[in-house]
A and B are shown apart, each in its own frame.
Chain A
Amino acid sequence: MKKSKFIFLTYPLAAVFAALILMAFAGSQDKKCGPEWDVPAKYKTMKNPHADDASLERVGKMLYSKHCKSCHGAIGLGDGSKAASLGVAMHSFAEDKFQAQSDGVIYYQSFIGRDEMPNFEKKIIDDEDRWALVNYLRTLKK
């Protein structure tokens, strides 16, 4: 008796499982980037006081691997190990469209963030470190 009950459940369970796997694959394919960023004017015109400061190169690189690489990927293509589990796609930092934005806009996107892009104000506190990271994103240009 007990055995037959179990067999009776096998097919529905297998079907549900298969459906779940299919959905997971289907879902990951047609992911889109979020809408345009609505950046406050204050940030748009923000000046980068550390632009071209070569002494900050290593700092930017270190911070990028520690805080950003897991989602944005080693060279910023948006293909980090956590990317698959996110609902929205990331722009590649290599794209011209991304690089065309001002330093202040990138600063806003990087440290204030929105939705799945986390806020980093409490993690990267020093302003100099933040600009070092913005400078590093510039080096990821194609």
Chain B
Amino acid sequence: MKKYILLLLTTTFSFVLFGQDVEKEVDKPVRSPFESGYLIDNQTTVIPVEGTLEFAIQHKFGTMDNGFSDLFGIYSPGANIRLGLNYVPIHNLQIGVGATKKNMYTDLSAKWTIFEQTRENTIPVAVALYGSMAIDGRNKSVFGSEKVVDSKGPAEEEDVAFNDRLAYFSQLIVGRKFTHWLSLQAAVSFTHYNMVGWDYNHDMVGLHLNGRVKFSPQGSFMFNYDHPLKIKNISEQSNWNTHPEPNVSCGVEFSTSTHAFQIYVGSADGIIPQDIMMYNQNDWLDNGLAIGMTITRLWNF
């Protein structure tokens, strides 16, 4: 796996080196296909200007299915929150850290926008790579004797090691700004958990579709759909009971010079993408929707 990623990276990188020098002067990148690097709980191909520090607050309340009794999830204990800091050290490369309440995840991430769409269509789409590694930071006792090594003999129980706590997410995003008010993105992703419960798969391939429809200079509607694919060939399971539900969400965004404010309803209770792709059991058609917010603040240095 590592080898392939490396190969992919080096080939695309050499492409960029050749591609950019020639075009840059002639055909400029399109103006902000999205107003922020975040779209609900996904990423856009947008990276702020070099030297920008971004603070992100992502919050999801509990599901709304109890209606007024818990004020549509606001009083519900099922809430989740992530605080993140991202920095842009060089043009179109962003690195970040974050902490999430659910599973006490600490995550490290990187996003690289390889191509930006250009105004004269010399490059018709924007392409970005996003990767995230998360560490499940819960106390050892939570895992109990969950870790069972099947060694073709009697099953052995082992302690949870640091390595078992890691989960990875990598994503290739392709986006296009079609008109000044419509931008869409499609993506494929690969999620890997080093350790999962016995009835889960370690790997998950996902498809993503999202976009925004601008309705005023500062406001847009946005939607997102993440689909975890059921692929028999990579499944370790004969039953599919734990297969996650798609993450479906839509909302509005208001942005200013330094802020993006997004409020939405969506189904996944997880915030980091690997958790959403592996563990979302909320069905958006069956009382699984919750209110959430993504707020970002930018500082330029």
A112 within 8 A of B: no
Query: Given A59-B31, A123-B300, A126-B28, are A66 and B218 also a contact pair (CB < 8 Å)?
Result: yes
B255 within 8 A of A: yes
Main secondary structure of the interface of B (DSSP, over half): loop
Query: Given A58-B180, A125-B49, are A66 and B28 also a contact pair (CB < 8 Å)?
Result: no
Among residues 217 to 258 in chain B, which have CB atoms less than 8 Å away from a CB atom of chain A?
Answer: 217-218, 255-257
Query: Given A61-B217, A129-B31, are A67 and B257 also a contact pair (CB < 8 Å)?
Result: yes
Q: Contact at B217–A66, with CB atoms within 8 Å? A: yes
The size class of the interface chain A forms with chain B is 10 to 19
Q: Contact at B51–A70, with CB atoms within 8 Å? A: no
Distance between Cα atoms of A67 and B217 in the complex (Å): 11
Among residues 151 to 193 in chain B, which have CB atoms less than 8 Å away from a CB atom of chain A?
Answer: 180
A-to-B contact residues, CB < 8 Å: 58-59, 61-62, 64-67, 70, 122-123, 125-126, 128-129
User: Using a Cβ–Cβ cut-off of 8 Å, how many residues does chain B contribute to the interface with A?
Assistant: 13
Q: Contact at A70–B256, with CB atoms within 8 Å? A: yes
Q: Contact at A62–B51, with CB atoms within 8 Å? A: no
What's the A-B contact tally at a CB cutoff of 8 Å? 29
| Most-contacted residue by chain A among B28, B216, B218, B257 (CB, 10 A) | B257
Distance between Cα atoms of A97 and B256 in the complex (Å): 29
Query: Given A61-B217, A123-B300, are A66 and B31 also a contact pair (CB < 8 Å)?
Result: no
Distance between Cα atoms of A64 and B31 in the complex (Å): 14
- Residues from chain B with a CB closer than 8 A to the CB of A58 are 180
Cβ contact of A122, chosen from B180, B216, B300, cutoff 8 A: B300
Query: Given A58-B180, A123-B300, are A66 and B49 also a contact pair (CB < 8 Å)?
Result: no
